[in-house]
Structure 1
Amino acid sequence: MPITFNGVGANWPTSEQLRKDLAERDVPLMLSFSRGKDALAAWLAMLDSGIKPQNIHPIYYELVPGLKFTKESVEYYEDVFKTKVTTFPHPAMYRMWNAGVYQPIDRTWIIEASHMPEPSFEDMQQMYREDHDLPDDTLICTGVRAADSIARRTFIKKTGPLTTSKNRLAIIWDWTRGECYDRIAAEGIDLPPDYEWFLRPHPRTGKLVKNSGRTFDGLAAQFLVPLREHAPEDFATILEWFPLVELDLIRNEQR
């Protein structure tokens, strides 16, 4: 069952109401598509509510260029939904390069001389609107959920699922994690391989916790160690872009 708020936040429309309204308005919508369970559930919920497939414009933000497993994963979902997923560089990628993150000294002068821009998510979303002749107020839908964390619950309860200043809508804001997994399973859609590689160990037993996986989203040991084991070619690609990234393995004693 979707969550509800008492008192503050009780006036927000349910995500189902929001989706049905968008379906009736027959407007284009962008979807921030991480390949994860929340983004998949959001896409399915949009279709379930009558939003036309051609009105959904999914965008994937690539943290490290050229990773085989993310490319194949995106292609799989393009085939499932019969929709093109546009891939943009992740804004964090530019920030990391400009900051010299895990870069050897002989690269820093090249990075400094390049004066690479640092576009925001909003910048890229506006580029997409312009390239696809979408209205400037076209919403970017996300799979952000109030039940995902205390911080998100507090934010959505206070401000609601729509952030007007950024044209951003949490389109399944009241869904639980179980609802996301159940909807994906009912459709017979596979989760990306990341969800098996990045399962979280239980703090006491050390056993891997079911449904605790997530998508690749950082240059940290929790991602690098499994990637080195399960996708060595992609780990080598990360080393090409960030040659000193293994320092994080040393820092976490994961050599």
Structure 2
Amino acid sequence: MTDLWDAVPEAGSGHDLEPGWLGWVSDERPIGPDGTWLPSAGLCEWVREETDHVLLGFSAGKDSIATWHRLLEYWPAENIHPYHLYLSPHIGFVNRSLDYYEREFNRPIVRLPNRSVFRFLNDGVFQPPSNLPVIWGANFPDFSYPDIYELLTEDLGLEEEMPWVAHGVRAADSPMRRMLLNKHGPWRPNERVFYPIHDYYVADVRRVLTETGTKLPVDYRLFGRSFDGLDHRFTKPIHDTFPEDYRALEALYPLVGLDSWRRGESEPPDERS
């Protein structure tokens, strides 16, 4: 597979997307007879009419797991293409979880750098000053999520299929999320993104996990959610439970322990033995 560390567009290139790929391709909208947005079942049926293939943004969180199971009700397993965006490629507990879900769903999960990796590096997040000339000299690219969708689609050879991208976004997750979904709908048509479980409640997600026997990752024991940040909520449990994974984080973000030190819960990163 193409190495997306190299394949992302150069900084400042603009990387204009071809209008026929991510641009809108239909005049129809997933709206029911009463003028409201279609429920998730109707939305999935609507998107299924648009494409035979879907990409799945898979965080290994409960909502992305439920989304994968939801997609299986409408698409063949081999036509669902999950991808995971990492903050470091060498975090053992994350990779073990992804290995489990690959076995559980019998599908490979493409693992790619999160766009935040390049943003953190370019902004010097948790970097000592001595690293900055090298980082800035590397001229790491800035790219968007649609860039990821396009590159992944090309790499999978699905340009002709024009796949949509599924994310596990739920209106009930927060009042702000509900307001945005009520206003804009359970999709982003210009990016061909849709939310197959947008009307699920936590009870619905729990039901899916119970009925399928799919396990949650260790993240929920450590953080109560999936791992997606570098602040104290994540780094302290990783430091205490998986020291090798913490060292892997330090390899990419040497001063990642500063947030814990600021809270008085660890030694400064450069003084820790």
**TM superposition score category, shorter chain reference:** 0.7 to 0.9
Deviations 1:72-119 (A, max 9, x none): 111100000000100110000100001111111111110011001022
Aligned to 1:71: 95
Report the 3-state secondary structure (helix = DSSP H, G, I; strand = E; otherwise coil) of the residue aligned with 1:87: strand
Aligned-residue Cα RMSD (Å) equals 1.5
Q: TM-score, normalised by structure 1?
A: 0.87
How many pairs were matched up? 232
Aligned to 2:248: 237
Aligned to 1:141: 166
Q: Which moved more, 1:11-20 or 1:142-151?
A: 11-20
Report the 3-state secondary structure (helix = DSSP H, G, I; strand = E; otherwise coil) of the residue aligned with 2:125: coil
Deviations 1:38-71 (A, max 9, x none): 0000001111x23210110101001122111111
> What are the ranges of 5 or more consecutive residues in structure 2 without an aligned counterpart?
1-33, 267-273
CA shift for structure 1 position 252: 2.2
Amino acid at match of 2:102: E
Aligned to 1:57: 81
Report the 3-state secondary structure (helix = DSSP H, G, I; strand = E; otherwise coil) of the residue aligned with 2:237: helix
For residues 156 and 140 of structure 2, the distance between their equivalents in structure 1, rounded to whole angstroms, comes to 25
CA shift for structure 1 position 20: 3.0
- 1:85 equivalent among 109, 123, 144: 109
For residues 23 and 139 of structure 1, the distance between their equivalents in structure 2, rounded to whole angstroms, comes to 9
For residues 195 and 177 of structure 2, the distance between their equivalents in structure 1, rounded to whole angstroms, comes to 11
Aligned residues with identical type, % of pairs = 33
- 1:152 equivalent among 161, 169, 177: 177
CA shift for structure 1 position 233: 0.6
- Say if 2:44 is the partner of 1:19: yes
For residues 187 and 215 of structure 2, the distance between their equivalents in structure 1, rounded to whole angstroms, comes to 29
Instruction: Map 1:29-48 onto structure 2 (within 5 A).
Output: 29-47=54-72
Amino acid at match of 2:218: P
Deviations 1:174-219 (A, max 9, x none): 0001211221121111100000011xxxxxxxxxxxxxx1111111
> What are the ranges of 5 or more consecutive residues in structure 1 without an aligned counterpart?
1-8, 199-212
Aligned to 1:205: none
Distance of aligned partners of 1:112 and 1:45 in 2 relative to their CA distance in 1, 3 Å threshold: same
Report the 3-state secondary structure (helix = DSSP H, G, I; strand = E; otherwise coil) of the residue aligned with 2:81: strand
Deviations 1:143-179 (A, max 9, x none): 0000001111001001111211111101110000121
Report the 3-state secondary structure (helix = DSSP H, G, I; strand = E; otherwise coil) of the residue aligned with 2:230: coil
For residues 250 and 186 of structure 1, the distance between their equivalents in structure 2, rounded to whole angstroms, comes to 43
Aligned to 1:206: none
- Say if 2:221 is the partner of 1:196: yes
- Say if 2:244 is the partner of 1:220: no
Preserved CA contact (<8 Å) 2:51 2:164: no
Report the 3-state secondary structure (helix = DSSP H, G, I; strand = E; otherwise coil) of the residue aligned with 2:200: coil
